[in-house]
Structures are given as structure tokens and as C-alpha cells.
Amino acid sequence: MSGGVDSAVAAARAAEAGHDVTGVHLALSRNPQSYRTGARGCCTLEDSRDARRAADVIGIPFYVWDLAERFDRDVVQDFVAEYAAGRTPNPCLRCNEKIKFSALLDRARALGFDAVCTGHYARLSDGVLRRSVDPDKDQSYVLAVCTPEQLAHAMFPLGDSTKAAVRAEAARRGLQVADKPDSHDVCFIADGDTQAFLAERLGSAPGPIVDTDGQVVGEHQGAHGYTVGQRKGLRIGRPAPDGRPRYVLDISPVTNTVTVGPREALDVREIVGERPVWLAPPPDGPLECRVQLRAHGEVYDCTAVLDGAVLRIDLHAAARGVAPGQAAVLYAGERVLGSVTIAAAERAAV
Amino acid sequence: MVTYLDHAATTPMLPEAIEAMTAELGKLGNPSSLHAPGRRARRAVEESREIIAAAFNARPSEVIFTAGGTEADNLAVKGIYWTRRAADPRRDRVLVSAIEHHAVLDAVHWLADHEGARVDLIPVDERGLIDPAALGEMIGPDVALVTAMWANNEVGTVQPVAALAAAAEGVPLHTDAVQAAGQLDVDFAASGAVALSLSGHKLGGPPGVGALLLAKGVDPVPVLHGGGQERDVRSGTLATAAIVGFATAVQIMAERRAAESARLAGLRDALIAAIRREVPDAILNGDPADRLPGNVHFSFPGCEGDSLLMLLDARGIACSTGSACSAGVSQPSHVLLAMGADGDRARGSLRFSLGHTSTEADVTALAQAIGPVVERARRAGLS
């Protein structure tokens, strides 16, 4: 129970359905100064109190479990290391994979619980994971990294509801968090300034910004400050010869180089994914399906082919701004088939 | 039916205290008012003061009512520090035992952070016993205050207060007797301490009231400023009903103490034996003999204290992992760490504390639950 409205209603529904429910709030920081003071995310002392109060109203026991060390190691340090390696991680996804449905689930099961119930917006029944009925809130993307074993011990009671319905239900149940604003940004970056957070941990490492011909067009203060597809904040003095805006195409931590180019150079037709997780039987041939490349991102028709340990995804239409480190999640209609971590994106010929 | 083994957190109010307090709540008068209703309330407060003074061998004028143990600790620690330093600016050191309650420890650290105090921790041995000889070596003309508790709230070790007072060589000694007052013979005059903290709800009275016993001539600088109701040392309208409930509990506790302490010690030893029988590798923390009659404190190797607490709670048994912090995340106990325990032993510990409503049935209930609970918590391990 994060202290937000979704997990509160999920807990209430699970309790009402007759389950023996215990509320758990995860303490994810041992250092309230950096994560908690003024944090806009989901780990503040106020959130802990809100969660406790919601559990009181629902009438279930409530405890705070300290998973700060695991969170720091598996999510925060991973986040920093991924940026240092030139990739763009999604920490919410990693938190589901390593904390909520791993550290938390393992401990809960050892203590005698059967499942972890969360306020995620996704439908799960008989091992089949599907999108939420509320397309704006759908969180199947960030759950798709979970294995069938993990999902066998998961419950998402909100999958059939819209956010508006959940808020109305919270108000009806007398939960004070009914109109609490949604959390945004990365929860462990208190002020929301990801660049400053990374700069503090990775330091500054000036290097060249080059164009697709290898021509140096500017200098950066650290390649970790850039994301593929980024346009703003490049601070390149000279305009491009054709006068058109330039975008980050590639980040190479080895040479500490950021490559920029025109918008169409971002077009990607083929993606190589690693660490596949299957929530449907793995394909034994070319798989015609759809793929989503970031949270709340567009969905593309594609053909996916398993090639040893990697999955090659041919996009039927070009996608733009595909960042290594993000997940590519395969769907058949609303059903999640599986996911891979994007290792490389082959740009279409410019 | 809850098996309540957390009397050190708070113990049920005695029925007589509820009755006396409830009756007083219906009556009128501010004890500081000069008219008849005021005089009636004043009389209730002063009778209460005399009862409390008699129970702890203090003079009535030495009883300063406060809003609880924490306020009493803050007033003693900060107030006496300020007074002593004002009298001689060289006195800027505070000697504090390493196992104090946070109400003392954090007040001392506040003095260090905001008032330039130098703080030295008086060490304890592996049983949690404060060493008077160590204090003797630390004492000097630059010491403003020594503070050392009468009995530890976590592991229950009873401290040699008189020996500590002697080792302080005339430097004022404050002692937090919040846990001791309900279960031990606490004699303020004989203790050698000049300030002693008490709390109402730890001995069968209401929460929200306590007292600082303050020897004549010790005048701490006030922490709360206002009407100066209590000897000009503590301001705030006296909470007559709470004070009456507090005094009623103190009186009954004093009458029953000898027999009740022996009864609790018997239950305590039965509980210790039962835990050792069910969990042979459990480690008893604190002094095996010289501990509070109601205190049992064990470390369960390989277990997280939080897991044990939750599993027992689910079986209707209420106990404590020690000191909780604001978000509900327990930190390894500073008391156990000061006693030389490693982090895992500190985290895997539970306190079971007995009080006036405890019975053999409580011991039996825990004896039946603890084995399976420890086994399960061990499977969950240390996260």
C-alpha cells in the first residue's frame, strides 16, 4: 500500500472478496533527507501515514516492511548504471520485477501469504495478462517483465475498472486518499530532476557531440545526460547545414560520444531484444503481433522471431525514439505475450 | 482475546484510576484560580502530589507535574544543562549512558547540535549494565550533567543508580525511572539523583501525564514558558483529572508492589524458560537475574524482528521489537548495539513485557506460538 488511492481500493476489494488481507507499505529509503523530504513520488512519511489510515478504514492489519537495501541495489543503482551504460532504464518496471514481485513476494510467501495484491491497472486471470479496461491508466507494459511464476502469485483487482470509478469507490468507502493526486516521475528522485540526480552520482565527463558524419558539433558534460530521441537541451551552437532541428540518435559510453542527426534518422525498423520473458507459449516461428516500446507509448505491428537468446522484432512501420534499456512488450490484441529488453535498434537507412 | 505482552509500551489503566479520573473530569476548577472551585482543584492536585512524593520518598515540593515522561526527560536534561552552564561556562559536557531512551538521548544530541554541548557516552557491558567505574573516570569539572536510567526499557537491566550518583562526584545526576517506577522500589532521596522522570501510563495511570522529581535547589531553566504553575520551572494549566488518575495508580502500585513484583518475576522466569525450551538457540538479552520483573527480551537468530512481530500479531499476541521510528521502520536497537550485539542479532529481537493484567495463560499462549512462528520467520530470513 503506497499511500495512494489505487492500492487502497485494491486492498479493500481483496478484503471484501473474502481474502485474509494484510496491508504492507514498503519503506524504500533509509535516507529520508534525500528521498522523502519534499518528494513528489511515493515514499514519503505522509504516504506511509496515508497507507496506514487506509488500512484502518478497510479494517486490515498494516505493517511497514523495510526493503530499502534491496531497492537501492536493484532499482536505484541499476538505474544509475543503466544510464552510465548509455541506456534508458524504466525503474518502475525494474521495481515490479525485482521488488514487488520478487523481494516482497518471496518474503510474503515465506511468511505464509499466497499472493501479492497491488493496485496496478491490468487484468490477470489464469495466467493471462491483459490491458486494463482504462486505456489511459493501463499498466500491463510495466508488468510484462514479470515471469509466469511471479504472476501466479499476483492479484490486480483494479484491472476491470477505470481510474474514475476507482476514485469514486474510494470516496464511497470513506478513504481519505480518494482525491489524492497521482504520483509522477521517478519516486526516488525527490525533486524530479533526473539530470541533477545522475550528475551527482556519475559526475561530469565532458565529451564530443558529433553528427552522423562524425563531425564534432558541440560538447556535452556527460553522455548520461542524454536520451535517444531527445531534442531539447543539446546546446549546439552551430545550426545544422539544412537548418533543421537535431535529435540524439545514439549514446556511446565507451567513446563518451553523443551522436545527433535529423529526425528521420531516429526511425527504427528492427529491434533486437534480450532476456525474453514469455507469458504465452514461446513462438516456434515468425510471430505476427503488436509491440509497445515504452510506457504509454504507441503500438506497432511487427513480426517477432526468436534467434537463440535474442528476439528480432521487425516493425511494419518505422518507430521513432527507441531507447535501449526500455522494454519491448508484445501484445496480441489486449493480451500480453511477453517482453524483451531492447538491446539495439537498427535505424532505417537515412 | 489478545495476549498482551507489551506492558512496557503502555499498561492498562487500573480500574480505580479510571474511576478517580472520571469523577474528577466532571468537576470544575483551575488549580491556579483563587476562588472556591479553584481551591477545590488545587486540593486534588496537592493531595496527588503528596501521594506521589510518599510513594517515591520525595518531598511534595520536589514533584513537578509534566505532560509525561518525555517532557520530564527534556526538562531535566536541557534545563539542568542550561543552568549549570550559565553558572560556569566551562561546564559544557554531558555524560549520557549509551542505552538511554530516545527522550533522553535525542535531547542530549539536540544540545550537542544546537547548544555546543560535548557529549560522551557512558559504556555498558554485555548485559546492558552501566559501569560506575567508567563514569568515575569520565567525570570532571567540565561536566554539566550525568544522565543514566534506573532500568532499561528494552532489555530490562536494572542500573546501579546510587553507585552512579556516587561516581558522579557531586555533578547532578538525572535518572529516567519511567520503566522502573511501577515495578521496583524507587527511593528518590536515597538514590543520590537530583532529578527523576516518571510517566503515568507505564504504571496504570493515564497517558499524557508524568512528573519530574526535582531535588530542592535544583532549578532547571524552563523548556516551556508561560504561567510558571509548577515551581516556575514548568508552565501550563495543571491537568487535574489526569494528575488524580496518575496519583491513584501510584498509590495502588505502591501498596501492591512487593507482592506484584514477585508475581511478575515468577511469570517472567516461566516465560524465559518456555522460550528457551521452544527455541533452544534463542539468546536472552540483558541481565539474567537483575532485570525488571516484567521484562523478557530475546534475540532469535536468523529471524527478522518485524516478521516475528507480525506473525505473533496474527495469532493474537502483542509484543514489541523495541524502539519504533516514525515511518514504522525499526532500526537496529542502539541498546543492543551498545551491548556489543551485531546488527543481525539486534534486528532479530523481541521484547515481551508483563504487567498487572498478565497471567499464566499469557505465558502458555506465547509458549505455544513461539516455536512455529520462529520457524516460519526463519524461512523468510533476514531481508
Specify the residue for cell string 464511497: A172
pLDDT at A40 over 50: no
Query: Which contacts qualify for B357-362: CB closer than 8 Å, 24 or more apart?
Result: B357/B4, B357/B7, B357/B11, B357/B12, B358/B4, B358/B5, B358/B7, B358/B264, B358/B267, B358/B294, B359/B267, B360/B267, B360/B270, B361/B3, B362/B3, B362/B4, B362/B5, B362/B267
Write the residue in B306, B313, B377 that is nearest to A65 by C-beta. Answer: B306
CB contact under 8 A, B329 and A64: yes
Kind and range of the H or E element at B266? helix B240-278
Which of A265, A282, A314 delimits the end of a domain? A265
CB contact under 8 A, A66 and B329: yes
pLDDT at B4 over 60: yes
pLDDT tens digits for A98-117?
999 999 999 999 999 999 99
pLDDT at B294 over 50: yes
Tell me how many domains chain B contains. Answer: 2
CA B294/CA A147 separation, integer angstroms:
49
Q: Report the predicted TM-score, pTM, of the whole model to 2 decimal places.
A: 0.89
Give how far B380 is from chain A: nearest CA, Å.
5
Residues of B in contact with A69 (CB under 8 A): 383
Interface of B with A (CB under 8 A): 306-307, 310-311, 313-314, 326-330, 376-377, 379-381, 383
What is the domain range of residue A260?
204-265
The ipTM (two decimal places) reads 0.87
Active-site positions of A read 95, 187
CB contact under 8 A, A107 and B380: yes
Task: Tell me the CATH number at A163.
Answer: 3.40.50.620
pLDDT tens digits for B205-261?
999 999 999 999 999 999 999 999 999 999 999 999 999 999 999 999 999 999 999
Write the residue in A22, A45, A112 that is nearest to B327 by C-beta. Answer: A45
Residues of B in contact with A63 (CB under 8 A): 306, 310, 328
What is the domain range of residue B25?
15-252
Kind and range of the H or E element at A274? strand A268-278
Quick one: A215 and A295 in the same domain? Answer: no
Task: Tell me the CATH number at B55.
Answer: 3.40.640.10
- Band (pLDDT 50/70/90 cuts) for residue A36 is very low
Q: Pick the residue of B304, B306, B310 with the most A CBs within 10 A to test the interface with A by mutation.
A: B310
Quick one: B217 and B282 in the same domain? Answer: no
Quick one: A170 and A99 in the same domain? Answer: yes
Active-site positions of B read 325
Which of B252, B269, B289 delimits the end of a domain? B252
Quick one: A99 and A159 in the same domain? Answer: yes
Q: Pick the residue of A21, A36, A65 with the most B CBs within 10 A to test the interface with B by mutation.
A: A65
Q: Pick the residue of A24, A36, A47, A66 with the most B CBs within 10 A to test the interface with B by mutation.
A: A66
pLDDT tens digits for A241-273?
777 888 999 888 888 999 998 888 889 999 999
Greater confidence (B119 vs A67) lies with B119
CB contact under 8 A, B327 and A70: no
CA B344 and chain centroid, separation: 25
**A-to-B residue pairs, Cβ atoms closer than 8 angstroms:** 50
CB contact under 8 A, A107 and B330: no
Residue of B nearest to A29 (CA): B329
Specify the residue for cell string 496504570: B204
Write the residue in B313, B380, B383 that is nearest to A61 by C-beta. Answer: B313
CB proximity A191 to B under 8 Å: no
Which of A265, A284, A316 delimits the end of a domain? A265
Quick one: A248 and A277 in the same domain? Answer: no
- The percentage of residues in chain B with a pLDDT greater than 90, rounded to a whole number, is 94
Task: Check if the beta carbon of residue A173 is closer than 8 Å to that of residue A57.
Answer: yes
Quick one: B211 and B287 in the same domain? Answer: no
